[in-house]
Structure 1
Amino acid sequence: MKPLFSPRLVHLLLCLSLSLLGCAWSTAVEARTVRVGVYANEPKIFADASGQPSGILGELLQAIAKEERWQLQTVPCAWQQCLKLVQDGDIDLLPDVAFSEERAQLMDFHQVPSLFSWSQLYSHEELRLQSVLDLRGLRIAALEGSIQFQYLQSLLDSFGLQAQMIPLSDLSQGFAMVRTEQADAVVANQLFGDYHASSYRLSATPIMFQPAQLFYATRKGENAELLSAIDQHLQNWQSAPGSIYFQVLQRWSGAPQQRSVPVLFWWGLALLAALLTLAIGGSLLLRRQVADKTRHLKTSEARLNTILDSVEAHIYIKDPQLRYQYANRKVCELFGRSADQVIGHSDVDFFDSDTAQALGINDRRVLAGERIESEETNRDRYGRNERTYFSVKLPLRAADGSIYALCGISTDITEHKRNLEQIHQLAYYDALTGLPNRRLLLEHLQFALARSARSRREGALLFIDLDNFKQLNDTLGHDMGDLLLQKVSERLLNQVRLEDSLSRLGGDEFVLILESLDPDPEVAIAAIEHVADKLLRALATPFELPGYSHSGSASIGVALFSQPHEKPEELLKHADLAMYEAKAAGRNTLCFFDPRMQQALAARATLEHELRRALSDDQLLLHYQPQVDEQGELLGAEALVRWQHPQRGLVPPGEFIPLAESTGLILPMGRWILHTACQQLASWANDPQRAELTVAINVSARQFHHPDFVTDVLTALQETGANPHRLELELTESQLVQDIEALINKMEQLRAHGVRFSLDDFGTGYSSLSYLKRLPLDQLKIDRSFVRDLLDNASDTAIVRTILALGKALELRVIAEGVESQAQRDALLRLGCRHFQGYLYGVPQPAEQIGVYGRATLDLHPS
């Protein structure tokens, strides 16, 4: 008997069964459960009788889930609760979320909008609400935490309208409250409102706002694959007019009912069709060709519409009467209307009168045959929501060359313009005062110099620097300092002419450019002095700050345009140098630039460069000046730093020590001196006749207050093996005014290791006796200025006697420096001084020339 199925067919069926079984198993394994937050917001989203997501967004999600083999798990929640659940990751997707920058910080959104909507107010028809101004005094219900709630509250505040906002947990509650007159109006998205308004006997008002793009949202940083799948399906569906996307939209938007057609009509129609077929049999082929071309044309039109709707630009066509004949998706979103509601209307229906008039002028130029590219600033019908567009408009011509319409492409460049303005503001203006910054100042100065050269009139640059501004900043804080700078800029602006240019260079420095001055130098200088005097008097008036009245002053340096200079930066430098001369002259004054200032600056720069080389090339050396007791026995030596310049010879300390202080070179120089002095101590320790010598180092304030100072001293002692009890550090009184607590702490740390301390130049500063008794000192040094006039000045004698008495009371050794004659030594001895230093006992000399008896001391500063 012949088998019913061939072996080959059986084999194929078996393979097919196994393949289907494998697919089913794979589907079961790969199926993913997706938790979906669902709240009542018909017709967009709600849960049906079986608990599954329904409505427009629910059915779309079910269709996507079917394609992606997801298992949807509904999580019912109220709106505010839904937002929290998706942010906490307790649900995977939340439909119907309007995009905003604030929400984008908390949740992730897909790219293709799932739905478009806008917000609208609903109320009883007899209330007759026509505009936002009619909301004064009304009770308005809105979903709590929604964008509508926040936006409408902000809108009311901007108009100064007092209205009561009622927060809702769901929209149905709001419609019920309006129906029972517990509220006057309710805010809802247009889809929900139009779907429910009639059942509550409410009507939509003309008040609509905030067009929104709706998305499915998920927790930040998670479920990217869900959003990607949603984007893919939405993009495919929205590009196909007959897709499930448009079927769902049509079903929930209320498709018109179809009328029934009698059966006899269909029989008659069929008979007529048969007759027509027989009558036009010869033209059948032609009809097919026409149908094919029509189908292709419609397909091309649909594709073109899809492309135009996907472009992020507003594309439109207007007829000669300036009525819209075509509008893509972006235009409809802008107007908050559908394409059918836009077609046939003109700009007066969507913009305010000024915008519509300006657009009409450009459009008529295009209809006259001109192609236009321009920026257009548009506002809505209420004159708000101003946006800027870059528009390209061109005429559309018929076959005969006549113009039948215009086509426009407008791109929203509002944010781009704002960004450019912000970039320009940041690049050219000071953020604190709003004045031009250094960059814009140099541009203004360049143009001012050019104008001055053409007109042959004088000009001037005034460099204004506040006196003692750092002190206010340090005592009252930077916030108070910033407030003072703002008040200073206001006062300066009130004193200058409109044609003058005031800038803030930075910190407490301002620059004023004066132009069109008289070419006569004397007249120009007189005018400059008059302006500067006004500025100084204005700034001398006390500034009222919160809880504080600040009296200040300023120093002004002036450079004239007619002075030689190569570029604007050099002229600015000249004014800066003159300002420093004004500071040196006592502040609160004016100083004009002199070329000798530039020479001094160049010399200073050269000296700084050579001093840096001196540190690296070992050009520094130490000389020691003896210190003795009343019998003339050598007690020690004070070492002074010297610079052996290869060309200039021995450079006096007075020339390079202040430069080292101002440039910060005092720090590496101080470390070198400290290490060299400790090496000398260690060397003397090996000589029995010099083992008792001590070395004292006069430490600068900048060096002492450096965070690593204590470590530097201890490291130098350890590396050289010097005895810390033979090391004496000399401080000046000026150091006592800077953070006395930190200074005492460092002194005590070093004192614990045996290091001794001496207070240099005592009596010339402003030290407080309350601080003096707390300092772990061993010695006071009488300044040479008191010793010099000791024999002729009774005041100096009284000061020396007081210092000696103070030293005795505090149990401190007192030594006088600058002793140059026997008479000075005898006078000091009579007053009770027992220790001396000066040229009477020896000039500073190399270490090997120091006597072999007693002890020695070391100093950083020149004698």
Structure 2
Amino acid sequence: MSDRILHSLSLDAKTVSIISVIKGWGFVLLTAVLLYAVTRKYLNDSSKAVRRQVELERRWEFALDVAGDGVWDWRLDKERYDYAGRWTDLLNQCGGQAGHQETWLNVIHPDDLEPFQKAVNDHIRGLTERFENEHRVTCPGHNTKWLLARGLGTERDADGRARRFSGVVIDITKQKEVEHELRIAATAFDSNEAKMITDTSKRIVRVNRAFTLITGYSQNEVIGKDPSILKSGIQSTDFYREMWRSIHEKGYWQGEIWNKRKNGQEYPEWLRINVVKDARGVVTNYIASFNDVSDLKQARRQIDHLSHYDTLTHLPNKQSMMSMLDEVTMSSDRTSKYAALMFVDLKNFKALNSAMGHSIGDVILEELSARLSDASQHIAVARYGGDVFAILVSHIGSDMDDAAYNAHQLAELMIAKTSEPVMVDDFQYRADIRVGISIFHPKDNAANEVLRQAEMAINEAKILDTTGIVFFNEDMKLRVNRRFQLETKLREAIPQQLFLTMQLQVESDGHPSGAEVLIRWRDPDDGIVSPAEFIPVAEKTGLINQIGDWVLSSACQQIAAWSDHPVLSQLILSVNVSLKQFMQASFVDKVAEAISQNGILASQLKLELTESIFVEDYKVIIEKMEKLKSLGLRISLDDFGTGFSSLAYLKRLPIDELKIDQSFIRDLLESTENQAIVESIIRLGQSLGMSVIAEGVETEAQRDKLIEMGCHRFQGYLFAKPVEVDTVYTLIADRH
């Protein structure tokens, strides 16, 4: 167009040429200026866009870090996997590498890996609209975290299979912890204990299933109501005022309360009320927790009944009688009236039970208890034992004579009532009863003393084998009666009711070296009778010789029986010998005969003698000991240190062993005097060439102290209690 304009002018050719050159350079210059301006604007715009993108990415990464989330982008067609966000630090610390899908898979919890992979594959194949999966990730040195992964296939091929798969990963660990706590709270709330939540206006906002089961009210029936709908009316206004005072001051209250069910039934419950406060300390709710304790109270009543009443006769039992007796003797209202405690014993009832059976015996006891109660109206009657009843009369007379007369009258009435025949099917039983009576004044006698007196009276009736009434009096000689009873029964007991037990004697390393033979008496009526009770009676009556001979013979038989046992054949049995037994003229011959008849080695028998033998003639003692030693057996001086033997004669006695009495061992660690005595005995035994054994060792500290002093043989509960012969083998075998 510029050329046309130029040619239309009436100019010469030279001028046109010059103008054309100028025009060309002008256009070049203009084009350059315009190109520069356009290029500069483009560069400025690009720079701003880059800065905006960088800022956007910076903000995006910051947001991911703050949120703890991550972004992932998986290019399946290029096998490229990228992730970003703060959680990537954990993946990298677990040994992962950027761009590798395995990094994520390697830290997923093994139990969650298969569901995760299935969810991923299902979405890649187009089976799901969106990908979403919760899983745990863990690696050494880090806590397990819960992640929520969400994603979408953003590019898919013609078959619908994802070529690009992108999404986010959100850390939901805190959310899971809260959910877990909520589940625990929900489980606790919906427990077997009834729970009720109210607001500050004391309106019910929530209850659980246990509440409904206990009260009969459904949740819809109580929401918005005041808990007073449960009130039974048994508690007073003051009770509730005090309850709420405690709640406001302490933040809680608990106690027993009576409430009412929907059907109107009253029931006891154990109630706890706690205050709920917000972060500012302002009360927001009250939580009441309670249990129906009806069954518990009923069970307690039954237990209380069983503990205080006899299940067969339904009379008060021994414990109740003791309580009633305590109440009488300790009552502050002690009048001038005398009281009486009576024991009623059914003669030969145990024989009846054995012959006819307990079913018949129980019927008879029920009938006799009813008769005793009928004869003793308004008086406390109890079943004190199997066939023994107790009757307590708190006011029976104004003086001793009057009380004794009235008690005798009552006893005769009971005898008359119980003597009438009792029919059980075709069997007729006529009871013979014995009554032991103690008359006492409550202010002068303690319950235990009254009980002892009544027992003495009934025991007197048993010993005399009478059927009738026996009063306690101070002239009764309980020890004589007991000795008479024991003597009579002991004569019948030898030897059928006697048996042996053994207590091991051990070395310092715990290896058994022997055992002491201990006699026991199993009485058919009284059970095990203590040796401390029947041995003195046996010694005074001379029965000790017969018992001693049996023990010696039985011990030798046991040694012979054990001769084939590799473990037991090495044991040395110690047999206690009393003074009377030792002083028998034929004692040495009896020992020799027992050894010979059983064919045992005399060295396996040890006789234990107490220092009491030295009250006799020393010459006779030494002579007998030497004869016994010539047989080859061993002699031990038992309870050494408690007697009065002369040390001057001790060195002349053929004794193999000194046995330290347990009275010195008991306080060995606390008493310096005992330590000095024990140490002296040990040194004396060592100087005389005798072994020393300590009895009554019960603690490791005692044993260690004795070892320190030089004693290396022991006997006591620390190592073994006395056991019956059949148990000895097991006891020894366990130590080998």
Scaled to the shorter chain, the TM-score interval is 0.3 to 0.5
Q: Using structure 2 for the length normalisation, give the TM-score.
A: 0.40
Larger Rg: 2
Pick 1 or 2: higher relative contact order, CA cutoff 8 A, min separation 6: 1
Q: Please give the TM-score of this superposition, normalised by the length of structure 1.
A: 0.35
